[in-house]
A and B are shown apart, each in its own frame.
Chain A
Amino acid sequence: MKNILTAAALCLPFGSLMAEEKPELVVYTYDSFVSDWGPGPQIKAAFEAECDCTLTLVGAGDGAALLARIRLEGSHSDADIVLGLDNSLMEQARDLDLFAPLATAPVGLALPVAWEDDTFLPYDWGYLAFVYDNTKLETVPANFEALANSDLSIVIQDPRASTPGLGLALWVKAAYGENAPDIWAELSDNIVTVTKGWSEAYGMFLEGESDLVLSYTTSPAYHLIAEEDSTKSAAQFDEGHYMQIEVAAKLANSDESELADDFMAFITSDAFQNVLPETNWMYPATGVAVPEGFSEMITPMPVSGPLTISDVDRKAAVEEWVRVLSR
């Protein structure tokens, strides 16, 4: 019993330990950003070295959970900055009227597409892609039609629960428009299963459950650089690839407004950008050099069509996906 009480005592009072005198900047982000292997720890150290403040990174699930969290808290949120929404969620986020315009125009952005937005600031980006094991796959499909006509197996994520899954639904929609349902119908016998999130899908692929998995063109770079394993490759599709552009924005109700502006400016600095490739495994948003292994990655074209999507169109694309695959 004594042990239990000690444990209880240990659990309760940590809230009071967080009181500090330095100003505190609170950034809400997704879980993998704050993990020990993510960019979080290095970003925190780098920013605190120059701001004389405390940078608190709060992990709030994945990108969609992050948006839901901000919606829940509304204008009462403790967050000063939200970092980790992407272009597929951006319009939903904008409609909330919770975000403040950027104090200064972003400097040095080098995305493969033109980017102009007065609220959301890109910090990294990547292309969705199907990743495969190049020691096992002989014929690599060159587009969705080839994939659908092959007997290759794929694991994908559910667009109702996962941001890459949503990206795939939007990718097919952008590439095939009205014919998207036909592509999905033909793909349905290739789909081994659909998972709740990226981790489950990628884990199942690594266990050998499918020939390909929906991930990013930069996923092989992780295996190459961190594990010295060159057996993973991404398939280049000639329809072009869906771009995921990850963005940050400042909340209008931030009580550390100046500090938040400083952090937004810090995002496009080399100190921030250099951390991303080997922690977030995405391309930096500015022209900083990428690590060597990245040069071996495929460099596809972005799929044509708008970068962002309205809430109505997003819902329609997801409903179409469910309808076709439920048959």
Chain B
Amino acid sequence: MSAPVKAFGITAILIVVLLVFAPIVALLTRTGVEDIPAATWPAIRFTLLQATLSALISVTLAIPLAKALARRRFWGRSVMVSLLGAPFLLPSIVAVLGLLAIWGRSGIFSDGLAYFGLGPLDIYGLEGVLLAHVFFNLPLATRMLLQGWQAIPSEHFRLAAQLDLAPRARFVLLEMPVLRGAVPSALLVIFMLCMSSFAVALALGGGPKSSTIELAIYQALRFEFDLAGAAQLATVQLVIGLAAAALAFRFGTDTLFGGSLEQPYQNWDKRRWPRLMDASILLLVVLFIGLPLIAILLNGVTGLMAGFPAGLGLAWSISVGIALVSAALALALALSLAHMIEASSSGTRIELVVMLLLATSPFVIGTGLFILINPFASPFELALPITALVNAALSLPLMLRIIRPALGRVDRNYGSLASGLGMRGWSRFRLLTWPQIKPELGFATGLAAALSMGDLGVITLFAPPDIQTLPLMMYRQMGSYQMDAAAGSALILVASSFALFYLFDKGGRHA
């Protein structure tokens, strides 16, 4: 490993450790520790329940979908693969209103039912929470599984077709290894993401029965100013996250296939039933994902017709600036980390710690950093660099889950050959690794950029006067009755996030 890579990798680990643990310690320094209040136990139970179910449902549904996407070539497939990134990038409040336009009490399904004298649909409760979480995460799970499928050399499929393998044998030989590799990873990521859900879980959960740990943290920090209590709750989340990650790592294995000559994939399976199956799965998903997106689009267009609010351009440039900086930072950190984990004997442990970032609470990170920084510097002056850094760090776990397996694949397939040829350092990366893992890099960097763009995150505590990001602007509009203008800003936000994601993702897959 070259010196710069190592330096970057160690920096990345330091940043991760700092962001995971320092805020909690900072909170603890300010007040004394008490017992966890009894009222949080139901919240812990509900958090575990909804996160587990959300992950299981998302990944289960993603398996046939990823399979269909992997083995079919159709018009619009490439756009669809990219569009799968879209729900994941929606700010929670926008997604909630979009989902309600379809599934709500006066959504299109309820209107349809009313025509027959039925309804309205009432999704509020656990089912509403799951609906939203599956909407957010089914596409992400699909992309993660699809990545695994595409690692199967096309020669294997050709061979399977030549041998006329029965579906069962095909499953055991080809698909099982993919699922063993990708499913635990996808389950883990989605479990962690849903664990810290709060606004969505509350709004669609129908009441305090659907309180999550994250809500308790928010309450402790905002209303009770019980910093130690918040630190305790954050620790509970970390412990759950650690357990989940350890479990997923225990059962997850890297997918091992031989090398490939990079033949384009062809589908030799011409049977009619599987084709119909795949078509209906794809159609259902297009509707499930697409309808709320269309609702958001229509709302936003109406809002924008009334005119572009002043300040939109500035907010947009700040958000795009932060997104690009943090994506570049995240890419450098994630690549170095991935290299380091592949090369190190304690790689799994390093990755475990990085995964913990997904289990952190943004409110705890924000408040903790504020406590740490405030005595030394004005938080206003550091707002943008800190936002970029925190956003970059928060996308590391996701990026690592995408990039690291790809890196491992390249090393396994070509590592000895490259070493034999004396390829090392930069030239090895440029000539071998880069072309091989470009799709994964593009996807991961696109996610990082778009996530950073849409994140409200730490900027709320640090935001200096006159500086606002696009998500912040959108929330402020909503707070001033400007729901239509907010829908317009939301559309611009979502469109820009998606454009960033698309540029990187598509760039990685085709350039």
Against A, the Cβ 8 Å flags (1 = close, 0 = not) of B476-511 are: 111111110110000000000000000000000000
Quick one: CB contact mask for B221-244 with A, threshold 8 Å, 1 for yes? Answer: 111110000000000000000000
Question: Which residues on the B side are within 8 Å of A57 (C-beta)?
Answer: 465
Comparing A141-149, A192-200, A240-248, A262-270, the segment that makes contact with chain B is A192-200
The answer to whether A32 touches B463 (Cβ under 8 A) is: no
A177 to B472, CA, bound (A): 39
- The answer to whether the Cβ of B6 comes within 8 Å of any Cβ in the partner chain is no
Q: Which residues of B contact A298 (CB under 8 A)?
A: none
Q: Give the residues in chain B near A300, CB-CB below 8 Å.
A: none
Type the 1/0 row for A230-245, where 1 means its CB is closer than 8 Å to any CB of B: 0000000000000000
Residues of B within 8 A of A319 (CB): 39
Is B97 interfacial (CB-CB < 8 Å)? Answer: yes
Q: Are A31 and B97 in contact (CB under 8 A)?
A: no
In the complex, A191 has a CB within 8 A of chain B: yes
| Contact indicator A199/B479 (Cβ below 8 Å) | yes
Min CB gap B24→A, angstroms: 15
Q: Judging by beta carbons under 8 Å apart, are A193 and B203 in contact?
A: yes
Q: Given A4-B325, A72-B374, A322-B208: A199 and B101 within 8 A (CB)?
A: no
Chain A: residues with CB nearer than 8 A to chain B? 1, 3-4, 7-8, 10-12, 14-15, 18, 30-32, 34-38, 56-62, 64-65, 67-69, 71-73, 76, 78, 153, 158, 160-161, 166, 188, 191-200, 202-204, 206-210, 219, 222, 226, 279, 281, 315, 318-319, 321-322, 325-326
Count of chain B residues with a beta carbon within 8 Å of a chain A beta carbon: 73
Q: Report how far A91 CA is from B350 CA in the complex, Å.
A: 47
Closest 4 CB pairs of A and B: A15-B381, A208-B106, A32-B479, A199-B478
Is A209 a contact partner of B385 (Cβ separation < 8 A)?
A: no
A160's contact among B96, B219, B480, by CB below 8 Å, is which?
Answer: B219
Taking a contact as CB atoms under 8 Å apart, the answer to whether B207 and A325 are in contact is yes
Within B14-64, the residues touching A (CB, 8 Å) are 39, 42
Query: Which of these, A11, A64, A161, A199, contacts B93 with CB under 8 Å?
Result: A199
B480 touches A196 (CB 8 A): no
Tell me, yes or no, whether B425 is within 8 Å of chain A by CB: no
Bound-state CA distance A37–B482 (Å) is 8
The contact string, 1 if C-beta is below 8 Å from chain A, for chain B 196-234, is: 001100111111110100010011011111000000000
Within 8 A of A (CB), among B84-108: 93, 96-97, 100-101, 104-106
Name which residue of chain B comes closest to A153, CB basis. Answer: B105
Inter-chain contact A207/B328, CB cutoff 8 Å: no
CA distance A192 to B105 in the complex (A): 9
Q: Contact check, B93 vs A203: say whether CB atoms are below 8 A apart.
A: yes
Given A8-B325, A326-B208, 18 other A-B residues pairs in contact with their CB atoms under 8 A: A7-B325, A11-B322, A14-B464, A15-B381, A18-B464, A31-B476, A37-B480, A37-B481, A61-B460, A62-B479, A68-B222, A160-B219, A161-B222, A192-B105, A192-B206, A193-B207, A208-B106, A209-B100
Chain B 375-396 per-residue mask, 1 if CB under 8 angstroms from chain A, else 0:
1001011101100100000000
Decide: B202 and A64 in contact? CB cutoff 8 A. Answer: no
Among B106, B203, B325, B381, the residue within 8 A (CB) of A196 is B203
Given contacts A11-B321, A11-B385, A59-B476, contact A207 B97 (CB under 8 A): yes
**Contact (Cβ within 8 A) B218 A161:** yes
Is B461 a contact of A193 with CB atoms below 8 Å?
no
Residue numbers in A under 8 Å from B374 (CB-CB): 72-73, 76
Minimum C-beta distance from A227 to chain B (A):
9
Q: Which residues of A contact B325 (CB under 8 A)?
A: 4, 7-8, 11
> CA separation between A69 and B465, bound complex, in Å?
15
CB–CB B378/A35 < 8 A = no
